[in-house]
Structure 1
Amino acid sequence: MRPTADYAVIGGTGVYTAGQLEHLQVYEEMTEYGHAQAMIGEIRGKRVAFLPRHGLKHQTPPHLVNYRANIRLLQLLGVQKAVATAAVGSLRKTLRPGQLVLLTDFLDFTRTRPATFYEEGRVVHIDMSDPYCQTVRSSLDVTAKQENLDVIPSSTYVCTEGPRFETPAEIRYFAQIGGDVVGMTSVPEVVLAKEAGICYASIGIVTNFAAGISTQPLTHEEVVTTMSENIERVRKLMERWIEEDNLQHRPCSCAQTVQSMSHL
């Protein structure tokens, strides 16, 4: 029998455990897009699915993550609201390693990833005017202030294909066109969540200055180390948000986005 969950936490690089979730059970399913796995538990009686984006042992690189299977699993579980974590590089000297940012928009430079559930049968042009749900972002910002956590409430995320890091020329270009942080995983995850009718937000953890800004070569170890130093703040924010959130408060249009689109 398939379990249910109202909330989801999607763990990125450095976030491989379910934190304070109680009564954990591991659930996996073969969706029409492939295999996906999550840990289902509770926070103060609220049902939560924890999904490690790269796998429990960080075995899947960003360009090979099965984003469609992951989001479909959350949809099948009944998830209505999801918060993801993202390790990000800074494109601005004013955004320093260790800072937390809420993602508000994105620039997509991925190339090979399936980016929609609607490839056959009908064409859906999904509205992305508010890619990261404003309702969830606003409530996360309020919770951060209540917990005395310094979170920057707005940032534009540049998503690259990976798994290589970006070149200095690419970083200069991304900064010039409006990017604030760079990473490899938010797209198509955010798009698929929108298609699935899930209110989705993402917390970026600045792990390093990007190439050309940093004077040192970039390494994955640097990213993981900075994540480990800051993950408890992120967990605290997400768990407190889930504890205090009103699941029925969804003034946004996320749940109706696909139904409101014109199909050609």
Structure 2
Amino acid sequence: MADVVLGVIGGSGVYDIDGLSDKRWVRVETPFGDPSDELLTGTLDGQKLVFLPRHGRGHRIPPSELNFRANIHALKQLGVTDILSVSAVGSLKAELPPGTFVVIDQFIDRTFARTKSFFGTGLVAHVALGHPVCNRLGDLIEEALTELDIPYRRRGTYMVMEGPQFSTIAESELYRSWGCDVIGMTNMPEAKLAREAEMCYATVAMVTDFDCWHPDHDHVTVDAVIKVVVANAGNARSLVSRLAPKVAGREGACSQGCHTALDNAIMTAPGHRDPEMLKRLDVIVKRVLG
């Protein structure tokens, strides 16, 4: 098993990582086009780390236009084995106020304008996604949040909408009736692609505001939301610093099976596999197909 390399995908307000040594912004070309930005590589407390600003520095790219495949592929090319995804979200529960971090364990994917798989005609694969995040990595995140005294909730369902517009009140109430805890626009198909790429993936959803279901929603000012975003970004950077040495302790493949997700997933018979697809997916399928 390759050395542990922690990948961090930064959401709204998180465009850099503090404390990195040997910092270098690297341009990565992938078979799926350009990722959102250059990737920042370095070492944090002895742990190799790669950071990708999801929306690009300066927040240039809206959710529906993110090249999710290029982003995940670029992290894979740079040797990333474990991904911490941090994302700004709205709260669908009164007990999850702004400033709360939620360590997600489930998603409902309601996006419709995004390519959701590396695979396709010529090389078909179906990975298991019943448990879409790595609970081993989630445990380490919970440890770090507890040590930092950041308010958090372990476990929650993230409703992923297409955007870029926010919900109507009727939609927000529907998602609440489904038992969703937070709502955002970015973690699908990101989590699905990370599973196909055999990488551990965990999401920390950072609540910035209550969604429009809340009676006080219309009274929230932009200044108030920005203040929460800034505070959340600072806490996210602290989380990365605390998490990095904990991730370094893993030996061998992930006990949750994240690094062997393709073992029984590829359906296309050897004689019918498209050579061009095999070439394009070499970085993704090399472990199982050689």
TM-score interval, smaller chain: over 0.9
Q: In the TM superposition, what whole-angstrom CA distance separates every residue of 1:191-246 from its partner, at most 9, and x where no partner exists?
A: 10111111010111110000121431777765443110222222212211112221
Deviates most, 103-112 or 147-156: 147-156
Output the TM-score relative to the length of structure 1: 0.93
Contact 1:62 1:161 in 2 (8 A): yes
Output the TM-score relative to the length of structure 2: 0.85
Q: In the TM superposition, what whole-angstrom CA distance separates every residue of 1:162-216 from its partner, at most 9, and x where no partner exists?
A: 1111111100000111211000000000110111111010111110000121431
| Larger gyration radius, structure 1 or structure 2 | 2
Distance 2:71 2:168 in 1: 30
Helix, strand or coil at the partner of 2:261: helix
* Number of residue pairs matched by the alignment: 261
Helix, strand or coil at the partner of 1:41: strand
Change (3 A) 1:79 1:39: same
Distance 2:194 2:217 in 1: 37
Amino acid at match of 1:8: G
Match of 1:241 in 2: 243
Change (3 A) 1:132 1:217: farther
TM alignment of 1:28-177, pairs within 5 A: 28-36=27-35, 37-177=38-178
Higher strand share: 1
Distance 1:224 1:262 in 2: 45
CA RMSD between the two structures: 1.8
Distance 2:63 2:223 in 1: 16
Distance 2:225 2:75 in 1: 27
Helix, strand or coil at the partner of 1:260: coil
Distance 2:102 2:25 in 1: 30
Helix, strand or coil at the partner of 1:110: coil
Change (3 A) 1:63 1:220: farther
Amino acid at match of 2:262: V
Contact 1:87 1:223 in 2 (8 A): no
Contact 2:198 2:258 in 1 (8 A): yes
Amino acid at match of 1:58: H
Match of 1:12 in 2: 11
Amino acid at match of 1:143: A
Q: In the TM superposition, what whole-angstrom CA distance separates every residue of 1:75-121 from its partner, at most 9, and x where no partner exists?
A: 11110001011101011111101111101100011011000000232
Match of 2:227 in 1: 225
Change (3 A) 1:110 1:77: same
Percent identical across equivalent pairs? 32
Helix, strand or coil at the partner of 2:263: helix
Deviates most, 220-229 or 232-241: 220-229
Show structure 2 runs of 5+ residues with no match.
Answer: 269-290
Deviates most, 160-169 or 36-45: 36-45
